[in-house]
Amino acid sequence: GNSQPGAINKVLSAIFNPADFLNKVFSNKGSQMRKLRQMKEDDNIRDLLVTKFDRETLSALLQIPREDIETILSRCDYSESFVKTANDLQILDALSSCYEEYRVLNRDKG
């Protein structure tokens, strides 16, 4: 039996169409993603994140599961080694760049 065809289809569509995955994450988490710019400019947050490497603080700040952070970065062409070795501040900067790029690319749609 095929108990979860929806889940399989979601995974396959995310693999074959990464833009759809980003669209889903960024549109569902739009308010958190818009906070990225403010967070990047907050020295207290920057000082905290530069010492963190586990994504837990970043995940809590953005209210995004750790796995989604890693998936977003891989969809935005960040290497696995970058994702594994970067501190949370570098990851925040990468997420912000990815989100800004997404917004530019999707500005003309809708």
- pLDDT over 90, % of the chain: 40
Q: Could you tell me if residue 3 is inside a domain?
A: no
Concatenate the DSSP letters of all residues of 55-89 into one string: SHHHHHHHT--HHHHHHHHHHTT--HHHHHHS-HH
Tell me the residue range of the domain where 45 lies. 18-106
On the question of pLDDT at 63 being above 50, the answer is: yes
Q: Please check whether residue 33 lies inside any domain of the structure.
A: yes
Residue 9 belongs to some domain of the structure: no
| Domain presence at residue 2 | no
Q: Classify residue 5: in a domain, yes or no.
A: no
pLDDT at site 14? 52
What number is the average pLDDT over the span 51-72?
91
From 13-27, 28-42, 84-98, the region with the lowest mean pLDDT: 13-27
pLDDT reading at 80 higher than 70: yes
Question: In this predicted model, which residue has the larger pLDDT, 51 or 37?
Answer: 51
Domains of the chain: total: 1
pLDDT of residue 108: 66
54 within a domain of the structure (yes/no):
yes
Q: Are 14 and 25 in contact (CB under 8 A)?
A: no
